Structure 1
Amino acid sequence: MARPIFWIKVLAPLCLLLLLVGWWLNFTLARPVGKVSIYGEVQQVDLKKLQERTLPWLNDAFWLVDLTSLKASLEQDPWIKTVVVRRQWPDQIHLELVERTPWAHWNDGYLIDEQGVGFNPSFKYTQELGRHIYAKKDTLAEAIKFWHDLDALLQSSGLQLTELRHEQRGSWQLEFNASIRVLIGRDNIATRINRFLWAWQHWLAAEAEKLASVDLRYPNGLSVAWQKLTN
């Protein structure tokens, strides 16, 4: 009889342990989400809408929440650049948000972030950014690169690029200091820009307050339009 008693002493605690583990797993896997924590500095993200996007994914038990789908849903918000979603035992979901930082206005009502990604802000963004780009979606990357190239050329000129337009036929038009319009055209871009900078340094800068526009669409020269005098 010693052997059966031995096995009872061994198996009984083991069975009890298995029952406890099973109960714990069942309780843990079925446990609902207890708390959602949001981290990150946000100014434009609508937190109420963010909550509305999050709620449908919280109906599942904590360990069954589809984090990949939740992340994809949250990143549909145009202002959210990235979001990291993770679980924290025993019942918390952590959301780490990175908001887009607007760098320039794009066309009418759109914005460009610091990484050069155009997006619809979903509301009228009225803050002035000092930069405005007009370009089609498929030429936006080219326009942004041109802007940065021009910024590098203008560092010692005293000129500030405030607007860039890429017209449908491929011509370029610039605005400096929010007042001086420069027509470049679509050919010999680098040559024409250098011609303008030479003219600016040698005589146009002294007449800046009177300047309205400069047309560079000539083989070897330029024309200047002056602001109309007001009485």
Structure 2
Amino acid sequence: MFNITQMRLEPKEGNSLQHVSPANIQSAIAGYVYGNFFTVDLPELKAHIERSPWIRHVDISRMWPNGLILRIEEHEAYAKWNENQMINTWGEIFTANREELDDNVFYPQYNGPDGSEKLMVQRAGELATLLSPLNLRIETMSLSDRYAWQVKLSNGLTLILGRDGGADVVDPLGGSQEAVSFAENVQRFVQAWPILLNKTKGRNIIRVDLRYAKGFAITFDSVVNEESAEKK
């Protein structure tokens, strides 16, 4: 009597369910629903469900006389992370089948050390804003173990940004002089890029190295040559 025989899935307010179905949930909790309407361990069931792919958070309530209501918040994929994981829009890592991603949405590839994912999402947002006047987007963004940045853009150009001094502070843009170096570095490139394109017509720039205090170095395709471009 009162055994759990019904389960209703609902998206949390403001969300929709794109990847989670009743079949997914039934498969995930098979063998983990113990007890009846009164005795089922909801915290344990919640913890188990939240380990399932695509599920970021679930609230579970009882539905008289023999059911449960699951209000689910899915992970919202933001980017691919390292070899086989994903980052959501909150800067959290989760594991899911990448083949289930929407083919109509572009997901950049992020690579970085453990614990750097929130910084990665923050910096990517800053970079996207700074690059918007050039109509360029991030294809790949990499952070080394020494917290040095390298970014590949949608036009094939690679930016070498060097070490992120602001990564050592709580709020990378919270007023520290070091913290604004990332934005200043990128802004320097954004301001110079149209001029560079005009001066180097007919030559394809494949890399810009911004690890210089007052300038940068550029590398041309198929030519073993670097030219420093001093800021004017």
**TM-score, normalised with respect to structure 1:** 0.74
Give deviations 1:116-141, integer Å, cap 9, x for gaps. 11112256666563422111122222
Q: Are 2:17 and 1:42 aligned?
A: yes
Q: Name the SS of the counterpart of 1:199 in structure 2.
A: helix
CA RMSD of aligned residues (A): 2.7
Quick one: distance in 2 between partners of 1:96 and 1:207? 57
In the aligned structure 2, how far is the partner of 1:80 from the partner of 1:164?
A: 25
* Structure 2 portions without partners, runs of 5+: 165-180, 224-232
Alignment-derived partner of residue 137 in structure 1? 114
Q: Is the 1:104–1:130 Cα contact (8 Å) retained in structure 2? A: yes
Taking the aligned partners of 2:93 and 2:19, their CA distance within structure 1 comes to: 16
Paired residues of 2:80 and 2:110 also in contact (CA < 8 A): yes
Confirm or deny: 8 A CA contact 2:34 2:41 kept in the other structure.
Answer: no
Q: Determine the structure 2 residue equivalent to 1:54.
A: 29
Q: Say if 2:159 and 2:210, in contact at 8 Å, map to a contact too.
A: yes
Of residues 101-110 and 178-187 in structure 1, the stretch that sits farther from structure 2 once superposed is 178-187
Q: Secondary structure at the match of 1:63?
A: coil
- Conserved? CA contact 2:82–2:112, under 8 Å: yes
Task: Kindly indicate whether the alpha-carbon contact (under 8 Å) linking 2:150 and 2:161 is maintained by their aligned counterparts in 1.
Answer: yes
Q: Which runs of 5+ in 1 are unaligned?
A: 1-29
Q: In the alignment, does 2:218 pair up with 1:224?
A: yes
Structure 1 match to 2:188: 195
The alpha carbon displacement at 1:34 in A equals 3.1
Query: Could you tell me how far apart the structure 2 residues matched to 1:182 and 1:162 are?
Result: 11
Larger CA Rg, structure 1 vs 2:
1
CA gap of 1:166–1:35, structure 2 versus 1, over 3 A, is same
SS in 1 for 2:132: coil
Q: Secondary structure at the match of 1:137?
A: coil
Distance (whole Å) between structure 1 residues aligned to residue 221 and residue 116 of structure 2: 32
Could you tell me which residue of structure 1 aligns to residue 69 of structure 2?
A: 94
Contact residue 184 and residue 215 of structure 1 kept, 8 A: yes
| Residues in 2 aligned to 1:208 and 1:68: alpha-carbon distance in whole angstroms | 64
Separation (CA, whole Å) in 2 of partners of 1:208 and 1:120: 44
Per-residue deviation at 1:38? 2.2
Is residue 2:185 matched to residue 1:185? Answer: no
2:159, 2:207 within 8 Å by CA — same for their partners in 1? yes
- Please state which structure has a larger fraction of its residues in helix: 1
SS in 2 for 1:159: coil
Query: TM-score, length-normalised on structure 2?
Result: 0.74
Counterparts in 2 of 1:207 and 1:130: CA distance versus 1, 3 Å: farther
Alpha-carbon distance in 1 for matches of 2:129, 2:65: 53
Distance in 2 between residues matched to 1:90 and 1:209, nearest whole Å: 73
SS in 2 for 1:77: coil
Q: CA deviation at 1:177?
A: 1.2
2:84 alignment counterpart = 109
